[in-house]
A and B are shown apart, each in its own frame.
Chain A
Amino acid sequence: MALYQSPTSESDFERNFQQLKPLMNQTEAHYESARCLFCYDAPCVTACPTSIDIPLFIRQIHADHVAGAAKTIYESNPFGYACGKVCPTEVLCEGACVYNLQQVKPIEIGRLQSYATGAIIHQEQQLFILPPANGMKVAIIGAGPAGLSCACELRMRGFEVVVFEAKDKPSGLTIYGVAPYKITNEEVLDEMTYLEKQFGFQIRYNHRIETREQLAELEQAYEAIFIGIGLGETAPLQIPGEDLENYMGAVEFIEKLRMEHHAVMVPARVVVLGGGNTAMDAASECARMGAESVVLAYRRSPNEMGAYHFEYDLVKGAGVQSLFNAAPVAILGNNGRVTGVKFQKTALENEKLILIPDSDFVVEADWVIRATGQARRTSFLNLIPGLETDAKGRIVWNATTGQTGNPTYFAGGDAANGGKEVVNAAAEGRKAAQHIAQWLLSPS
């Protein structure tokens, strides 16, 4: 018996995808902020990829200076609200909180962060005063966390910024790829609208940059170009049956779910292939969409899963069944549609994963979702002279400055780091902006 019933309305959907980190009210924020010890050289700051001055903003919340708190957050991370809700805080700031060492609940830093920034977004309060234009222009490809963080920081330094986005909404995977129980579409877009008004960059939506000619135009018109294009579609597994209907990539499924909500009809039986955080999201989402049986199948053991423990806990809590040491060897179908997955059992031999002969078995399914990594956009990246990609398809870059082999091009986010969190992309975009400014304003 499924734990969730298929949502047939937006309110059903919201109930099934109840927010894991709901917004705090003023009373809760007051009491929670009171608990912060104001550590010296606080480990939460060190644990944050964007190095937000967390003890300061919590102290500001407690002193009822919410605008000051929001400014402290936004000075380090333009995705302050979103990160408060979608960051894996358990392994970042909150995981580093000294209270953990005392077996005391860590400070709910993420929720406090969203409380402060949310209040300011809601009030449309202007926090930053932009400097006069410096006459230089930077193009940004991709309006995701890396690209927009780069845009905000460049605007703070007087650059004109135009962002080219292939889709029709900003924030990249924040809206298209994050599980709906972490943040709502409305919340994501409210912060993006706030940033656009606050920092005054332009975004050209439905404007995919994909040809050498387009790049040449950008190189002509802009002093520097930042690439924050993320990753491509879910890569195929190269096994038989991948052309069947109802066989899909996790990233594509999640995007569809985020855009269409309860209109997505998830069937009774779903198999999700993979052991990373995206697999967890897809499995948990199918269960919350009312699928009667969701099987998460991973070819290795539970300990080898890439997903965070708390993400796997969420999956189990949603009623998903797990299958370990099972490698998919074929997608099975009938009349062109998926009917199941043929697995073969695996084992470790001399630290190498091997398929155990004659151990085949079939799990029947109406849908099969693969969450087995995204393709790289190497063919596009190859259009940029001097820019190289590594064996894993990542942009070769100077991780400190964000600069690539072609000095005009800087990069950040998944395209450069291979696929990390929103907060990593935000940190990299901002850092690249600082070095773009340095490179353009004081070329050495």
Chain B
Amino acid sequence: MADLSVNFAGIQSPNPFWLASAPPTNSGYQIMKAFDAGWGGAVWKTLGIPVVNVSSRYGAVNYRNSRMVGFNNIELISDRPLSDNLREIEEVKKRFPHHAVIASLMVGPREEWHQIVRDVENAGADGIELNFGCPHGMCERGMGSAVGQEPKVLKTIVEWVKEVSTVPVITKLTPNITDITQPARAAVAGGTDALSLINTIQSLVGVDIDRFVPYPIVDGKSTNGGYCGPAVKPIALNMTKNCAQDPGVKVPISGIGGIENWRDAVEFILLGAGTVQVCTAVMHFGFGIIREMVAGLSGYMDDKGFATIEDFRGKALDHVLTWENLNMKYKVVAEINEEKCIGCQLCYTACEDGAHQAIKLTPGSRVPHIVEENCVGCNLCSLVCPVESCITMERRDDGSEHLTWSERTMAGNVPLTFDDPLAGGLHHSVPSPTEALSTPVPRHYGLSQN
């Protein structure tokens, strides 16, 4: 049986699943309920300067039959009295001494930072998270992402906190920035013990096309919110990887962004995260999703023979290179399994209209076929195919050759002019433009040639 417990920058937790600082951690009531359900830790909804909230506060991106694949909020930090929150932190710690309770903080001047750090430590918080990420509302007042976007300011505030803190300090980063390693390095330079990322992404989640107002609507007007949920996971994974690989970072990372099941968590851990934080999935499905997450992670670790999280943390990092170091001699082409094909022809139209015209219809059959010499091995057909393992990418090189762009550059073997024969597309078969008008399309498309 795998051991899921973690020591994250000195913070002990029975498992790597934490609730992110957000509405699910607004009160001791919610956090106790979550711990009781099986969550390992919780980052308290950000405490700090007094705020007032508006209604409504949330908007969502629904895609086909899925609700809330993307989620957006304009809620501010905790609007509850600090004293209530401190008392509840104490109560939660008393009842759950081995769970991780992290206080997320956001204030302005140095003295306020010192005071609030002492307050939450006195209440029993196991760690502190600095909210330098909130991209709506708070940033207009010079806090949240306004700090995360200014590495120098960020470093200074981390230093202020470290002047008084006795528990580990986690700096939470905003993704609303060009290079995530810049604020990450600044946080490390300021003395942070760990990083957490990503906070939400500035967004307009959609527009009411009858009222001409984006969502969420506050008395006929809107404002940008912070975007999260499953849709942001790829961005979060990449930024996690960027920080984890950076030699100037080298502190534990708590991964955040679109995590809702054990697989998501494993992916973040493989890219270097030591814990993961979850918000949107809980707002959608409740604390009960932890049952699936713990069981899934534990099962995965047992299957792979990993005794602890550290056994596989960062295991995918060595397999992420810069593009110029990929092997250009590796060659795959698509293959359609005729037995499995159901004849939807989505691969055909995707390749025909969206890629390289390497799939053709077969007269007398609904199963299309691959024109291998046109296939660049892009994967598109296998991605649109609705049947599992029907289109596979088959290797065609024998593995004996290895050549990267960077090796070609060093060897002086790269195209230099616009029409250089060394460029990649020279020998690809591309139909002439007017062939488009004589390629048959279904009658009901109603195009000119019908």
A, B bound: yes
Q: A-side binding surface: helix, strand, loop or mixed?
A: helix
Does B434 sit within 8 A of A, measured CB to CB? Answer: no
In the bound complex, residues from chain A placing their C-beta under 8 Å from that of B348 are: 40
CB A54 to nearest CB in B, in angstroms, measures 9
Interface size class on chain A is: 20 to 34
The contact string, 1 if C-beta is below 8 Å from chain A, for chain B 408-450, is 0000000000000000000000000000000001111000000
CA distance A285 to B51 in the complex (A): 69
1/0 contact string of B365-396 vs chain A (CB within 8 Å): 01000000000000000000011000000000
A51 proximity list for chain B (CB < 8 A) = 443-444
Contact B442 A45 (CB under 8 A): yes
Let me know if B346 and A39 touch, CB within 8 A. yes
B322 at interface, CB cutoff 8 A? no
- The answer, yes or no, to whether A99 is at the interface (CB within 8 Å) is yes
**Is B142 an interface position by the 8 A CB rule?**
no
Binds B, one of A27-35, A226-234, A315-323: A27-35
Q: Judge whether A310 is part of the interface by a CB distance below 8 angstroms.
A: no
Query: Across the interface, do B342 and A30 meet the contact criterion of CB distance under 8 Å?
Result: no
Contact with A along B347-372 (1 / 0, CB 8 A): 01100000000000100001000000
Which A residues are in CB contact (< 8 Å) with B442? Answer: 40-42, 45
Among A35, A38, A43, A45, which residue has its beta carbon within 8 angstroms of that of B343? A43
Query: Are B65 and A39 touching (Cβ within 8 A)?
Result: no
Is B177 in the interface zone, CB < 8 Å from A?
A: no
User: A101 contacts which chain B residues (CB < 8 A)?
Assistant: 342-343
Contact check: which of B64, B366, B386 meets A62 at CB < 8 Å? B64
A40 touches B345 (CB 8 A): yes
Contacts of A30 on B, CB cut-off 8 Å?
65
Let me know if B64 and A40 touch, CB within 8 A.
no
B344 within 8 A of A: yes
Contact partner of A102 (CB less than 8 A), chosen from B64, B345, B387, is: B387
Contact across chains for B444 and A39 when beta carbons are under 8 A apart: no
- List chain B residues, Cβ under 8 A from A248: none
The answer to the question of A98 belonging to the interface, with a C-beta cut-off of 8 Å to chain B, is yes
Taking a contact as CB atoms closer than 8 A, the residue among B65, B346, B387, B443 that contacts A40 in the complex is B346
Q: Mark A192-223, 1 if CB is under 8 A from B, else 0.
A: 00000000000000000000000000000000
* Interface of B, helix, strand, loop or mixed by DSSP: loop
Interface string of B153-172 (1 = CB under 8 A from A): 00000000000000000000
Between A and B, how many residue pairs show CB distances below 8 Å? 43
Q: Which residues of A contact B366 (CB under 8 A)?
A: 43, 98
Do A35 and B65 contact each other (CB < 8 Å), given the known contacts A40-B442, A45-B444, A102-B387? yes
Give chain A nearest CB distance to B350 CB in angstroms: 9
Determine if A37 and B344 form an interchain contact, defined as CB atoms under 8 angstroms apart: yes
Question: With A and B bound together, what is the CA distance between A38 and B348 in angstroms?
Answer: 12
Find residues 270-324 in chain A having any chain B CB closer than 8 Å to their own CB. none
Closest to A45 in B: B444
Chain A min CB distance to B125 (Å): 44
Task: Give the shortest distance, in Å, between A98 (CB) and chain B (any CB).
Answer: 4
Instruction: Please report the C-alpha to C-alpha distance between residue A51 and residue B443 in the assembled complex, in whole angstroms.
Output: 9
Question: A255 within 8 Å of B by Cβ?
Answer: no
Q: Is the CB of B444 within 8 A of A38?
A: no
A56 contacts chain B at the CB level, 8 A cutoff: yes
- Give chain A nearest CB distance to B404 CB in angstroms: 37
Interface centre among A30, A38, A41, A98 (most CB of B within 10 A): A41
Residues of B within 8 A of A37 (CB): 344, 346, 386
Q: A242 near B: Cβ within 8 Å?
A: no
CA distance A131 to B442 in the complex (A): 28
- Chain A: minimal CB distance from B8 (Å): 40
Residues of B within 8 A of A45 (CB): 442, 444
A98 touches B443 (CB 8 A): no
State in angstroms the CA–CA spacing of A101 and B345 once bound together: 13
Interface flags, A23-65, vs B, CB<8A=1, else 0: 0000000110011011111110100000101001000001000
Q: Which of B345, B361, B387, B443 contacts A39 (CB 8 A)?
A: B345
- Flag if B65 contacts A34 (CB, 8 Å): yes
Identify which of residues 30-68 in chain B touch chain A, using a CB-to-CB cut-off of 8 Å.
64-65
Most buried by A among B64, B349, B443, B444: B444
The residue on B at minimum CB distance from A30 is: B65
> Which of the residues A35, A56, A62, A98 comes within 8 Å of B344, measured between beta carbons?
A98
Nearest-neighbor residue (CB-CB) of A38 within chain B: B346
B-side contacts of A39, CB under 8 Å = 343-346
Across-interface contacts of B361 in A (CB, < 8 A): 41
CB neighbours (8 Å) of A41 from chain B are 345, 361, 441-442
Which of chain B's residues have a CB closer than 8 A to the CB of A62? 64
Give the residue among A38, A39, A40, A42 with the most B Cβ atoms within 10 A.
A40
B65 (CB) vs chain A CBs: closest residue: A34
Distance of A153 Cα from B259 Cα, bound (Å): 55
List the A side residues contacting B345 at CB < 8 Å.
39-41
Chain B contacts for A53, CB-based, 8 A: 444
Question: Nearest Cβ in chain B — how far from A33, in angstroms?
Answer: 9
Interface residues of B (CB under 8 A from A): 64-65, 342-346, 348-349, 361, 366, 386-387, 441-444
Which 9 A-B pairs have CB atoms at the shortest separation, nearest pair first? A34-B65, A40-B345, A101-B342, A40-B349, A34-B64, A98-B342, A41-B442, A39-B344, A53-B444
Q: Can you give 25 A-B contacts (C-beta < 8 A)?
A: A31-B65, A34-B64, A35-B65, A37-B386, A38-B346, A39-B343, A39-B345, A40-B344, A40-B345, A40-B346, A40-B442, A41-B361, A41-B441, A41-B442, A43-B343, A45-B442, A45-B444, A51-B444, A56-B444, A62-B64, A98-B343, A98-B344, A101-B342, A102-B386, A102-B387
